[in-house]
A and B are shown apart, each in its own frame.
Chain A
Amino acid sequence: MRNRRWNWLVIPMLVGFATIYVPAIVSFVLISFHPSTGPGSVGPEWTLGNYAKVLGDAVYQTGLWRSVALGAITVAGSLILGFPLAYYISRYSSRFAIAVFTLLYVSSLTSIVIRGLGWITLLGTTGPINGILQMLGWIQEPVIFYGNLLGLSIAMIHYTLPFMVLTLLPVMHAIPTGLEEASSGMGAGFVATVRRVVVPLAMPGVLAGSLLVFAMTISAFVIPRLVGGLTLRLTALLIDQEMRTTYNYAIGSTLASVLLLLVAVVVVMASVVGGRSRVAR
């Protein structure tokens, strides 16, 4: 507000946004309200039929549920791994912590295709992970990771972890260590300090990171295609199928709109929670 004269700096971004991104979204949302009239075309009349079909059809329903489930599992997984990691990196400026951070950062720069293929190799029935599990005697038969949510979740957590950590880090850095020292000085052990001081103060980062990871996951395409295969029928894959294989633009657009709505709902929910936690500060 104070430096209004710099506002023009965002104009190029807004122009790009308004001329490319918004029309694209508006056009597929509009298409979703028209009936399909054959491959690659929609009729002029308005209808809610596409939504009835998408929400009523078992295939699309399963796809949606699986996408949401994958999103939830990935958020949980990347939080469980990412929160302690970000806390560790932010609190210990040791060489090891820096190495861990660098590794994480570099791995986030690797091509997504390479990472997807990497996981296929690692998770295959004759791959090293099954090998180790069998060697340890924990399993008799190889675990099948390919084509199910198990393997896909592992790959997605790996893919989203750096984003989670990179979102959490600045928030953790901003928590003065004195607040934790005060906590232990007032009789709180490590767990109580993390639960009552670190987690509440890191909440904005947790929400932002979870949102980012959730949105990334339910719209992810490459890794689900490579690791999950076609049988999983996740929404993002179904959209691709409708748009590029059967040319059913109406259904494809409807699925995309539903996904968009889903992300919007989660964003609103997160900002309500976030707003409440901000009021409480």
Chain B
Amino acid sequence: MIEVRDLIKTYPGATSPAVAGVSFTVEQGGFYTLLGPSGCGKTTTLRCIAGLERPDSGMIKLGQTVVVSDRIFIPTYRRDIGMVFQNYAVWPHMTVFENVAFPLRVGKQKVAGSEIDRRVRESLALVGLAGLEKRMATQLSGGQQQRLSVARALVREPDVLLLDEPLSNLDAKLRERMRSELLLIQRRVGITTLFVTHDQVEALSMSDRVAIMDRGLIVQEGAPRDIYHAPANQFVAGFIGSTNLFAGRVISRDAETGQALIETAAGRIVADAEGHEAGADVMIAVRPEDVVLHRGRSAGGPEAANSLGGVVEIGLFTGVSVEYHLRVAGQLVQSRVSSRIDFTRGDDVVVELPVHAIRVFSMAGSEPAAEGLAGQDA
């Protein structure tokens, strides 16, 4: 288990903290990901947990041990962790075997030679490097070096595994394969894992839980599905996947159903707008794959709520799907549909925005601090 409370870290000379009060808990055996744009403080958070940075304040608990608090700072080498770095950081002057044996050789408890031999081989077999023991670490390919660094991190059987963008230096094909391999290893070993990445596909596909970070804060935390389908604010909606975002104003709201009529550049839209009063400026988010297209002209009228008339501007065929850019009144809307659906430029279409697929955020949603706290338990 990893528990982080109110972690704050300011680098010397920096005007604002790199990590500005982060709290989260990784359950025993869980796979937890910190996801966010470059510079949002993911690495800094991870390094504080590893003990490579000393936080200004906050509490960090690994397993049952408090490693950071007001009065405690346990140095890195006495924390029960395994680490995997973005650039592998395998030791170039050692063989593959020696790289993996290192944690056993330097540890507090002496491990017998035969035991070292057994555990190193076990670890290497786990990551699929059996047979390469005698090679120098630098004579491995990038992917193999990454596996080596995973074997090295696991050989001590630590409480937690910390990974900082471990796949980002691999080419696309290998990255995809390592994604499932890494997850498989994690599941097999059952180790509590904290993963840092700026790649949302990695984050969504591998994690039990994902925390979205922005400017040193966690702005939303949840299961990948919830993060994707119920982004807590405009930042998350825009950062995860592609999203149609357009501005609007609440005209009226039915207090009973919570549904509101919202005026936008695309027309009037009905949406669940809990907590947004009439007259409020809001932001509307719809995933392109939720936007439904019908051939023909809009019938108009109240029964056709959220069915707006549009014109096809362009279609981008990717094989799996087609992404259509549609002009709906004064608004550009993107729709991703099955690649069997075929429109040409200038076609009239009815653009349907299903009520359940629309998320409404207040305009102030660009402030991560305020929204972040509200969105924590989403």
A184 touches B76 (CB 8 A): yes
CB-defined interface of B86-108 with A at 8 Å, one 1/0 digit per residue? 01011111000000001100111
**A residues 156-192 touching B (CB-CB < 8 Å):** 176, 178-179, 181-189, 192
List, in ascending order, chain B residues with CB within 8 A of A114's CB: none
CB-defined interface of A177-216 with B at 8 Å, one 1/0 digit per residue? 0110111111111001100110011000000000000000
B87 touches A178 (CB 8 A): yes
List, in ascending order, chain B residues with CB within 8 A of A280's CB: 93, 136
Give the A-B pair count, Cβ closer than 8 A. 76
A184 touches B89 (CB 8 A): no
Q: Counting CB contacts under 8 A, is A281 at the interface?
A: yes
CB-defined interface of B283-313 with A at 8 Å, one 1/0 digit per residue? 0000000000000000000000000000000
A184 touches B156 (CB 8 A): no
A201 touches B156 (CB 8 A): no
Q: Can you name the residue of chain A whose Cβ is closest to the Cβ of B104?
A: A187
Question: Which residue of B50, B91, B103, B162 is within 8 Å of A179 (Cβ)?
Answer: B91
List, in ascending order, chain A residues with CB within 8 A of B276's CB: none
Q: How far is the CA of A182 from the CA of B103 in the complex (A)?
A: 10
Q: How far is the CA of A183 from the CA of B153 in the complex (A)?
A: 10
CB-defined interface of B347-362 with A at 8 Å, one 1/0 digit per residue? 0000000000000000
Question: Which residue of A178, A197, A201 is within 8 Å of B85 (Cβ)?
Answer: A178
Q: How large is the interface on B (under 10, 10 to 19, 20 to 34, 35 or more residues)?
A: 20 to 34
Q: How far is the CA of A183 from the CA of B82 in the complex (A)?
A: 11
B106 touches A186 (CB 8 A): yes
B83 touches A186 (CB 8 A): yes
A184 touches B75 (CB 8 A): yes
Q: How far is the CA of A197 from the CA of B50 in the complex (A)?
A: 19
Q: How large is the interface on A (under 10, 10 to 19, 20 to 34, 35 or more residues)?
A: 20 to 34
Q: Counting CB contacts under 8 A, is B152 at the interface?
A: yes
B152 touches A281 (CB 8 A): no
List, in ascending order, chain B residues with CB within 8 A of A182's CB: 83, 85, 89-91, 149, 152
A189 touches B106 (CB 8 A): yes
CB-defined interface of B124-156 with A at 8 Å, one 1/0 digit per residue? 000000000000101000000000010011001
Report if A181-B52 is in contact (Cβ < 8 Å); known contacts: A176-B89, A187-B107, A187-B156. Answer: yes
B106 touches A192 (CB 8 A): yes
Report if A188-B89 is in contact (Cβ < 8 Å); known contacts: A181-B52, A281-B136. Answer: no
Q: How far is the CA of A189 from the CA of B106 in the complex (A)?
A: 8
CB-defined interface of B318-347 with A at 8 Å, one 1/0 digit per residue? 000000000000000000000000000000
Q: Can you name the residue of chain B whose Cβ is closest to the Cβ of A195?
A: B106
Could you say which of A182, A196, A280 has the most chain B C-beta atoms within 10 Å of its C-beta?
A182
| Chain A proximity of B148: nearest CB distance (Å) | 11
| Chain A proximity of B176: nearest CB distance (Å) | 25
Q: How far is the CA of A186 from the CA of B156 in the complex (A)?
A: 8
Q: Counting CB contacts under 8 A, is B77 at the interface?
A: yes
B102 touches A178 (CB 8 A): no
List, in ascending order, chain A residues with CB within 8 A of B107's CB: 187
List, in ascending order, chain A residues with CB within 8 A of B153's CB: 185-186
Q: Counting CB contacts under 8 A, is B269 at the interface?
A: no
A181 touches B89 (CB 8 A): yes
List, in ascending order, chain A residues with CB within 8 A of B149's CB: 182
List, in ascending order, chain A residues with CB within 8 A of B77's CB: 184-189, 192-193
| Chain B proximity of A276: nearest CB distance (Å) | 12
**A residues 243-281 touching B (CB-CB < 8 Å):** 277, 280-281
B152 touches A201 (CB 8 A): no
**B residues 43-88 touching A (CB-CB < 8 Å):** 50-52, 75-78, 81-83, 85, 87
Top 4 A-B pairs, shortest CB-CB distance: A185-B83, A188-B106, A182-B89, A186-B103
17 A-B pairs, CB-CB below 8 angstroms? A176-B89, A178-B85, A178-B87, A181-B76, A181-B89, A182-B152, A184-B77, A185-B76, A185-B77, A185-B82, A186-B77, A186-B83, A186-B103, A186-B106, A196-B102, A200-B93, A201-B93
